[in-house]
Amino acid sequence: MSDFLSAAGWGAARQEALAGDASARRYTRLFLDGQTAILMQDPEGDVALFTRLARHLCGMGLSAPRILAEDTANGLLLIEDLGDDLVARLAETPTAERDLYLLATDVLIDLHRHPAAPDLPIATPDHLAQQIDLAFIHYTQAPEALPRAIAAFHPLLEAHAQPAEVMVLRDYHAENILFLPDRSDTARAGLLDFQDALLGHRAYDLVSLVQDARRDVRADTAKACIAHYCTATGHAETPFRASLAVLGAQRNLRILGVFARLAATRGKPHYIDLIPRVWAHLQNDLAHPLLAPVKEVLDTALPAPSPDHLTRLKSPCPTP
């Protein structure tokens, strides 16, 4: 790392560790001669992919971090510092939330007007259906119910999660979006997390935005974002809402398993505290009539997040 920073001209910079995310990535803010940059260390990921996707997004006028230096062999990147003004922190009033979330929706509208980055993994119905396995392995130990859940999900994903035609950023929520007021149009939204991008359905990132695992989004804000997207793209709202419900159920079911796994294997029990909100999103999605076959399976296979169950999910946590 020292050699990398020295070669990039940042060897003498003061370093300040930043809060990490659910991955093994580590972030450090560097200060040098009145300038700042971010050192990203990703020992388990593919920083070459991050670099390629960042440049793709910047090329269409969106605000991904510029790549200042890279050492892909050692998982090191020096990237532009987009600041600390997360949408999650700024959306404190109903008006601020609505304005910021509509900006985030405009980013998706803009993103979906451009060709996706080449060679992305494709979110096929098979891929999406299989991803719910984590809920049956980590949130509850009921692997025998997984085949029935997949069988119930698969035809819905075939009908409502296709075509896979746009670049899906995948973890598109308020703690991964920065507000950049000095920029214009959709470049005012800084994008932080896109290295797990897929080629998928255009509803996926919108449901990720409005069904946030980490904060409550006002119902009128979510409604405004969905209506704005449909109006701007010419999609009828009723079938689009069906896609939102199907993909929302798939996503929230997967998140239940991801959060439980983070507690059990990464020593991150605080993710368990987010599960009741994710469960509420899941129940909201399952209320859509289309999802009745899935709801029938899940009602018997998945326990509600009672205090006792949440405590059990925290109990196997190793020391961080």
Q: Where are the alpha helices (DSSP H) in 60-184?
A: 87-90, 94-112, 125-130, 133-134, 146-160
Cβ atoms of 256 and 301 within 8 Å: the answer is: no
Cβ atoms of 275 and 252 within 8 Å: the answer is: no
- State the pLDDT at residue 24: 73
Angle at the Cα of 230 from the Cα atoms of 244 and 221, rounded to 5 degrees: 70
pLDDT tens string for the chain (320 positions)? 889 999 999 999 999 998 766 567 899 999 999 999 999 998 777 889 999 999 999 999 999 999 999 998 889 999 999 999 999 999 999 999 999 999 999 999 999 999 999 999 999 999 999 999 999 999 998 889 999 999 999 999 999 999 999 999 999 999 999 999 999 999 999 999 999 999 999 999 999 999 999 999 999 999 999 999 999 999 999 999 999 999 999 999 999 999 999 999 888 899 999 999 999 999 999 999 999 999 999 999 999 999 999 999 998 665 54
- State the pLDDT at residue 320: 46
- State the pLDDT at residue 250: 98
DSSP 139: I
- State the pLDDT at residue 142: 87
Phi, psi of 38 (to 5 degrees): -120, 125
Q: Retrieve residue 153's tokens.
A: 């999900």
Closest CA to 152 of 281, 259, 253: 253
Return the bridge partners of 30, or none: 15, 37
- State the pLDDT at residue 318: 58
The pTM for the full model equals 0.93
Q: Retrieve residue 57's tokens.
A: 């997004």
Cα first-last separation, the chain: 23
The phi-psi region of residue 9 (left if phi > 0; otherwise alpha if psi is between -120 and 50; otherwise beta) is left
CA distance 40 to 195: 13
